[in-house]
Amino acid sequence: MAEPVNIARRFLELASRAGVDEDSTLRWSAVSFLARLALTLSIGLFPSLAAADDSGFLQSLQGKWSGKGTIIRRLGTSPIDVTCTFAVTASAPSLSMRGNCRALLVVSRAISADLRVNGQRYNGVYVGPSGGRSGLSGVRQGNTIDLVVHWAKEVNGDRSANMLIQKIGGNSLNLRTIDRDPKTGKSAITSDIALRRI
C-alpha cells in the first residue's frame, strides 16, 4: 500500500516544483488518483469484513434447538404437525445442521443442511426426509439466511423453492420453506418450524 501512496506524493511534489497551481488539472489528477486508490483498497477489504461478520452470525446459531411446526408434503393437502430437534455446529466459514422431525407421534425423519460462506455467498447441501441431496445457494440479509433450494427431483411441479433460516432474538430460530403453487402462481409456505434454544 505504501508504494502507490509514495508515487502519488511524488506526483504532487513534481507538480509544485513545476509551478503548477493547486487548482490545476495536474494537481486534481493526483488527488483523483489518491481517491481511486483509497476506494480500491477499501473495496478489497470488504470481503474479509463481511466474512468476519458472517462468522459471528453463524457462531450465534450454534447449539441445540427444539420446537414445533407444520409441513405440507404436497400443495393442496392438509398440513402435518411435526416436532423437531436440531443440533447446530459452526466454524469460521461454515454451518452444519443435523435434525429429526417427528410426525403423528410415530414417524421420525432425519434432515440436515450444510452451508459454507464464500465472500457474501452461501452455498451448500440440504438432505430432506427422503434422503435426496438438494443444492442450496443464497445470501444473508440481516438475521435471515435467504436460500434458493435446487431440489434433487421435481417437487410441487418444479425443482426450486426458497428456504429461510431466521434468527429471532438470541434464543429463537425459524425454519421456513416457500414454494410456488403451479396452479395459481402464488407463493405457499410448505414448512414452518419455530425452534427454541435448549
Q: Digits of tens for pLDDT over the chain (198 positions)? A: 444 445 445 544 644 565 545 455 444 455 445 444 444 444 444 444 445 578 899 999 999 999 999 999 889 899 999 999 999 999 889 999 999 999 976 788 999 999 999 988 999 999 998 889 999 999 999 999 999 999 999 998 899 999 999 999 999 999 999 999 988 889 999 999 999 999
- CATH number of the structural domain spanning residue 72: 2.40.128.20
164: nearest Cα among 93, 113, 106: 113
pLDDT given for residue 151 in this prediction: 95
In a domain, 126, yes or no: yes
Q: At what angle do helices 25-60 and 2-17 cross, to 10 degrees?
A: 160
User: Is 56 contained in some domain?
Assistant: no
Q: What is the pLDDT of residue 130?
A: 83
**DSSP reduced 3-state for 133:** strand
- Copy the grid coordinates of residue 107: 414417524
Query: Within this chain, do residues 42 and 93 fall inside the same structural domain, yes or no?
Result: no
In a domain, 133, yes or no: yes
Dihedral sign for Cα atoms in the order 87, 168, 155, 135: negative
Contact in structure between 114 and 94 (CB atoms under 8 Å)? yes
Instruction: Mark whether 79 and 167 lie in a shared domain.
Output: yes
Residue 124 inside a domain? The answer is yes
pLDDT at position 51 is: 52
C-alpha 6/C-alpha 60 separation (Å) is 43
Are residues 81 and 124 part of one domain?
A: yes
Query: What distances in angstroms separate CA 101 from CA 29, 77, 191, one per listed residue?
Result: 64, 19, 12
Structurally, the chain folds into a number of domains equal to: 2
* Judgement on whether residues 67 and 142 belong to the same structural domain of the protein: yes
CA distance readout (Å), 181 to 67, 72, 76, 178: 27, 12, 9, 10
User: Which residues partner with 168 through β-bridges?
Assistant: 172
DSSP at 165: E
Q: What is the pLDDT of residue 33?
A: 52
Q: What is the pLDDT of residue 5?
A: 45
Expressed as residue numbers, the domain containing 118 is: 61-197
Asked whether 24 and 15 are in contact (CB, 8 A), the reply is: yes
**Is 54 domain-assigned?**
no
* pTM of the predicted structure, to 2 decimals: 0.73
Q: Are residues 141 and 179 in the same domain?
A: yes
Same domain, 43 and 68: no
